[in-house]
Amino acid sequence: MREEKLVCVMCPVGCRLTVRISYNHGSGNGEAVVEGYRCNRGIAYAQQEILDPQRILPTSVLVEDGEMELVSVKTNKPVPRRMIFEIMEIVKKTKVKAPVRTGDVIIPNILNTGADVIATRSVNKKV
């Protein structure tokens, strides 16, 4: 069993959480017991953060024939942190043709995560 300390970011209170983690070595699954929370959001946050952390991934993609060489993008929902390097390998190889509009889906359902990589700004075509 190991112990982790976290500060909950789900609301402005910022509860100081203590999480005790035990793993079932046979299945690889873990269990997290949370203390120090003031609401159920703290429990869910700590368990998610310890057992399978997720992140929104902001980055950029190459643009062909655009006024700018790159367009900023992000995942439209959090993806597993353990997959970020794999996702970036795909993003690095991706090129889009201008024009690109804010909200355009650049890569749908990346690595079957359920998250789309979407444009966060517009890039017009070169004139």
Would you write out the chain's pLDDT as a tens digit for each of its 127 residues? 789 999 999 999 999 999 999 877 665 677 889 999 999 999 999 999 998 999 999 999 999 999 999 999 999 999 999 999 999 999 999 999 999 999 999 999 999 999 999 999 999 999 8
Handedness of CA 106, 57, 121, 72 (dihedral sign): negative
Residue ranges making up the domain that contains 103? 58-119
pLDDT at 1: 79
pLDDT at 28: 60
| Residue 76 is assigned to a structural domain of this protein | yes
Give yes or no for a contact between 17 and 37, defined as CB atoms under 8 angstroms apart.
yes
| Residue 15 is assigned to a structural domain of this protein | yes
For residue 68, give the amino acid letter.
Answer: M
Residues 62, 102 within the same domain? yes
Strand partners, 80: 54
| Residue 115 is assigned to a structural domain of this protein | yes
Q: State the Cα–Cα distance between residues 37 and 42, nearest whole angstrom.
A: 5
| Residue 33 is assigned to a structural domain of this protein | yes
Residues 37, 62 within the same domain? no
| Residue 36 is assigned to a structural domain of this protein | yes
Q: How many independent structural domains does the chain possess?
A: 2
| Residue 127 is assigned to a structural domain of this protein | no
pTM of the model: 0.83
pLDDT at 31: 85
pLDDT at 121: 98
Look up the CATH number of the domain holding residue 78: 3.10.530.10
